[in-house]
């Protein structure tokens, strides 16, 4: 039945693993969603918008002006990037729709799209729907010399051909927690300029950076004009169900993305758009508190997993820890994750599903730490059954 271009996509791992968590009553450290909602004042703003009749009918196609101005204000205040709220900002149904619309708008059938592997699962699906060809640039696991997940930019450079159209970036990176550093970003920017590539950059975890700082690639020389920057309110404000995302880019690129977006959802989330416009005006303390609270939970989960015997790599950003299960005597992350609820009542995500090269991803398993500390502690108690006898 399924059209050939969607072959192999199946059910997303997030749906599969969250259903497994519910069915087995397990603690869900799989799908990345917080177990506490975002600020009450932001929730109240959404409720007020509904009751006052703001956004209950189709909002404007590009998004309500209040939110487009707030997004432009955020990019200017945090990064010094200036975008015209009327022509260079587009509101989308989460980052997911922004990614889909950007790829559908900018990739011709047969064009090659280079993306870091492991890649967030919707990238593969959307490249396929656009008729593009996915070219993975596999991230290297931590080594003693380079104790973080990191890109191999020589290999990435060698994979550029005259059919390469888009460089699809994600930093902070899901699932590895890598944050591209300044030197890596400069090299990527240089490759994009020299090869005349469009860069689509998924920065949904921009405010969840624990080591170093988040540098949008659009701020680098020559990049503003060729970059589609994508972000979303889900992670920053802990309302992942609202699905309010956005694109910032020069007019020509926004207009291309909007052309595709019109026929995906046209518009969405009217009242939530008003609430997110308010949320974007929260003081900087809000962002710092979120980051520090997640940093403490990262440290709790990382130390606990390491004590149990997992190989734990530094999470520089996002709310995920990628672990290596080989020290536990395991090497098949998919089988490990499918058995974990039965073995100890915890759900995690096998990184192999984010790889074309399943072998390369097999020993890695992702846990999220965007849960209450007591939930993480309970999960660690349960996972302790995995400790290998000495």
Residues that bind ligand PMP (CB under 6 A): 94-96, 120, 170, 174, 202, 204, 232, 234-235, 240, 243, 245
CB atoms under 10 Å from CB of 23, counted, come to: 9
Q: Select from ligand GLN, ligand PMP, none the partner in contact with residue 232, using the beta carbon and a kind-dependent cut-off of 5 to 8 Å.
A: ligand PMP
Please give the residues from 162 up to 221 whose contact with ligand GLN meets the rule CB under 6 A.
Answer: 174
**Least separation in angstroms between CB 177 and ligand PMP:** 11
**Least separation in angstroms between CB 224 and ligand GLN:** 27
Kindly report the backbone phi and psi dihedral angles of residue 80, in degrees, each rounded to the nearest multiple of 5, phi listed first: 70, 20
**Least separation in angstroms between CB 101 and ligand PMP:** 12
Q: Are 92 and 247 in contact (CB under 8 A)?
A: yes
* Of residues 133, 63, 56, 58, the one with CA closest to residue 98: 63
Q: Select from ligand GLN, ligand PMP, none the partner in contact with residue 95, using the beta carbon and a kind-dependent cut-off of 5 to 8 Å.
A: ligand PMP
Q: Residue 300, Cα to own-chain centre: how many angstroms?
A: 22
**Least separation in angstroms between CB 387 and ligand PMP:** 30
Q: Select from ligand PMP, ligand GLN, none the partner in contact with residue 202, using the beta carbon and a kind-dependent cut-off of 5 to 8 Å.
A: ligand PMP
Report d(CA 335, CA 332) in Å as an integer: 6
Q: Select from ligand GLN, ligand PMP, none the partner in contact with residue 14, using the beta carbon and a kind-dependent cut-off of 5 to 8 Å.
A: ligand GLN
Residue 9 in contact with ligand GLN, rule: CB under 6 A: no
The residue among 96 and 351 lying less far from ligand PMP, judged by its C-beta, is 96
Using H for helix, E for strand and C for coil, what is the string for 52-95?
CCCCCCCCCCCCCHHHHHHHHHHHHHHHCCCCCCCCCEEEEEHH
Binder to ligand GLN among 14, 78, 79, 286 (CB under 6 A)?
A: 14
Phi-psi region of 325 (alpha: psi -120 to 50; beta: other; left: phi over 0): alpha
Report d(CA 95, CA 203) in Å as an integer: 9
Report d(CA 316, CA 326) in Å as an integer: 22
Peptide bond into 35 cis (omega under 30): no
User: Which residue's beta carbon is nearest to the bound ligand PMP?
Assistant: 94
Between strands 227-232 and 198-202, the pairing is: parallel
Beta carbons within 8 Å of 8's beta carbon, 6+ residues apart? none
The residue among 31 and 323 lying less far from ligand GLN, judged by its C-beta, is 31
Q: Select from ligand GLN, ligand PMP, none the partner in contact with residue 377, using the beta carbon and a kind-dependent cut-off of 5 to 8 Å.
A: none
Beta bridge partners of 90: 247
Residue 32 in contact with ligand GLN, rule: CB under 6 A: yes
Q: Select from ligand GLN, ligand PMP, none the partner in contact with residue 31, using the beta carbon and a kind-dependent cut-off of 5 to 8 Å.
A: ligand GLN
Residue 315 in contact with ligand GLN, rule: CB under 6 A: no
Q: Select from ligand PMP, ligand GLN, none the partner in contact with residue 245, using the beta carbon and a kind-dependent cut-off of 5 to 8 Å.
A: ligand PMP
Binding positions for ligand GLN, rule: CB under 6 A: 12, 14, 31-32, 174
């Amino acid at each position: 039945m399924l059209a050939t271009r969607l072959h192999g996509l199946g059910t997303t791992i997030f749906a599969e693993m969250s259903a497994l968590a519910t069915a087995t009553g397990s603690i869900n450290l799989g799908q990345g969603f917080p177990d506490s909602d975002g600020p009450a004042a932001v929730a109240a703003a959404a409720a007020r918008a509904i009751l006052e009749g703001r956004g209950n009918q189709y909002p404007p196609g590009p998004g309500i002006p209040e939110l487009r101005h707030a997004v432009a204000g955020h990019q200017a205040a945090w990064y010094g990037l200036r975008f015209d709220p009327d022509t260079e900002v587009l509101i989308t149904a989460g980052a997911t729709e922004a990614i889909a619309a950007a790829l559908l708008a900018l990739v011709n059938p047969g064009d090659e799209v280079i993306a870091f592997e492991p890649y967030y699962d919707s990238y593969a699906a959307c490249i396929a729907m656009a008729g593009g060809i996915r070219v993975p640039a596999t991230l290297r696991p931590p080594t003693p010399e380079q104790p973080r997940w990191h890109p191999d930019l020589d290999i990435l450079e060698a994979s550029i051909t005259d059919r390469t159209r888009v460089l699809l970036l994600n930093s902070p990176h899901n699932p590895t927690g890598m944050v591209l550093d300044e030197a890596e970003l400069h090299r990527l920017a240089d490759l994009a300029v020299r090869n005349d590539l469009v860069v689509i950059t998924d920065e949904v975890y921009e405010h969840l950076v624990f080591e170093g700082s988040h540098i949008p690639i659009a701020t680098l020389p020559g990049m503003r004009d060729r970059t589609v920057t994508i972000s979303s309110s889900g992670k920053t404000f802990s309302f992942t169900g609202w699905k309010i995302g956005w694109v910032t880019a020069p007019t020509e690129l926004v207009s291309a993305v909007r052309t595709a977006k019109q026929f995906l959802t046209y518009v969405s989330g009217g009242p939530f758009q008003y609430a997110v416009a308010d949320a974007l005006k929260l003081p900087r303390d809000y962002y710092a508190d979120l980051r520090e609270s997640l940093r403490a939970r990262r440290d709790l989960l990382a130390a606990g997993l390491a004590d149990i015997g997992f190989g734990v790599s530094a999470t520089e950003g996002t709310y995920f820890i990628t672990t290596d299960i080989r020290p536990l005597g395991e090497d098949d992350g998919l089988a490990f994750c499918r058995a974990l609820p039965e073995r100890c009542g915890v759900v995690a995500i096998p990184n192999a599903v984010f790889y074309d090269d399943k072998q390369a991803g097999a020993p890695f398993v992702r846990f999220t730490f965007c849960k209450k500390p007591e939930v993480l502690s309970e999960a660690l108690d349960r996972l302790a059954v995995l400790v290998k006898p000495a």
